[in-house]
Structure 1
Amino acid sequence: MTLMSINSVSEVEELLIKNSYIADNSLSTALYLALTLNRPLFLEGEAGVGKTEIAKVLAASLNRNLIRLQCYEGLDVNSAVFEWNYSRQMLEIRLAEITGRTDQKSLSKDLYTSEFMIKRPLLRALETDPLGPPVLLIDELDRTDAPFEAYLLEILSEYQITIPEMGLIKAKSPPIVIITSNRTREIHDALKRRCFYHWVDYPDAIRELEILKIKAPEAPEILRKQIVLFVQKLRQTDLFKQPGVAETIDWAHALVQLDHLSLDPNSIDSTLGVLLKYQEDIAKIQGSEANLLLTEVRSELSMTQVG
């Protein structure tokens, strides 16, 4: 499917499902509007709920290149946009000296061209791509600082970058921009105003079971149902870090690898480190609390079915 052939929210849902991503209607709607109106999509939510995966699935579905900018504290223009290839520039200067080229103004102009640039993700995303505009993933923006956010404003509103030595570089066709944040800090309103916004929440039991059927088909049906109900109940517990969908999938794979056909107290206690990432949370759930949750899961499954 091509971007031009997407004419409805339902087609976006189908596109994602074909590539093993189960989205709810609100997420599909936000994605449809971002794609058809050429606006960046800002996805916020807890870690492990599938924000980054959306960009990967989009790129694969539309047969576009994925350009990923992984954000971190201290990220600057040199790492995100471009830097000059100083060693190559010095080589060019020495070559000019050897050949007797003395026109400094001309030489200076030649040194500041794309030939002497080391292009980073943001600049590469603005270049013409034979496959079509790429998917630009700006991942975990909340790890950066306010000055870097400010730098992004021109890119997100005009799909262009101003380089002092060269002037304006503008995309002929805007990239598909997906920005993610785990909300470890608030992102400035100026950046959010340039995007469509969607909060990616934990899935309900029915949707999480659908996800598990696709991502862990080797797990027995009863095990998948027990896992989903157990994780859903865990998220209602006062934990330092709730398990995300990624942890649910990992837990299913781990239990299958250990040949567990269903949950039992021992299998839960021995694999909680796959599901929970803080010792305080593991200590709180391990043992009697896990047994209590498992009893509730078994009771619910005996009376009704998930999905």
Structure 2
Amino acid sequence: MTPQKLDTSVRAIREWLAQSVKSLGNHSDRLNAINVFPVADGDTGSNLYLTARAGHDAVSKLESDDIGGFLEVAARASMESARGNSGTLLAVFLSGLSEPWIGHDRLNASLLAAGLERAKVRSWSALSEPVEGTMLSVINAIALAAGSTLAHLKTDLDSRAALDTVLTQMAQAARLAVKGTETELPSLVEAGVVDAGAVGMLVIIDELCAAIRNDSPDFESYEKFHGYQVQDPHVHLNKDTETGVEVMCTVSLDALGAATLRGQLDTMGNSVIMSPVNQVEDDTYRWRVHVHVPESERALELIKKYGDPVNISVTDLCTHDG
């Protein structure tokens, strides 16, 4: 496809979300199989699929010419129904990506780079302890690739050729980032696998590029990633799982309340992720909260000191979904 024929409208964003759900479903078993970080619970693929599906379902019948507004609706639905670390980060990524796009009916290279940079900032700030060698590495790599490519382009930044060039560079950067996870985290090195969440993010990025280009992703190349061959066993089953539970909920908080709650959750558990869903008052947002704790009661009691949690889910970390 020539750059002039790229689809930069809401139709491409709709197709991207639909195909991401389909492909994450197809890859979920493989992603579950290599899921060893941060918890070897074999559910990364399932969590990404279910989170993406919630976002897609929310806009399946939505008519809009606003690419950012359209994606924002999907992102909010994904956030409300996010599953696990990976699903929550996917929702945060989508939310950040949508922000600079709001009010625009066409995507171009500048908007894509701005969206990826915003998504990177939102994703890294959502985690109390961000870790390289994960989905964050892929998000960081594509944002840097898009920004760097944009800075060195000689063509019109609003042209479809410029967008096509950025898509090529970010896709290559995403692949390199996934391959890099093989050596970044001790648990991945020991298991001989790439990070499951990183591969899941690559699926989503490849589908974004394919939707804009009206093309199909090259998923066969994924076979080169450590541990991703179909014949490989479920490596997470050989790992010691973390004990305790995963608690997720939505709660309305002002800035001080959110910062204080995050700090106290950090002392109580780990894998803390907090990200705003939407604004309800001048200084108050609805926050999606995610944390791993020894037991749910204390965490929920703490959260209730600051607000009224809704959409609560509690999952045993020893349960394998893969």
Taking structure 1 as the reference length, the TM-score comes to: 0.27
Higher helix share: 2
> Rg: which structure is higher?
1
TM-score, L = length of structure 2: 0.26
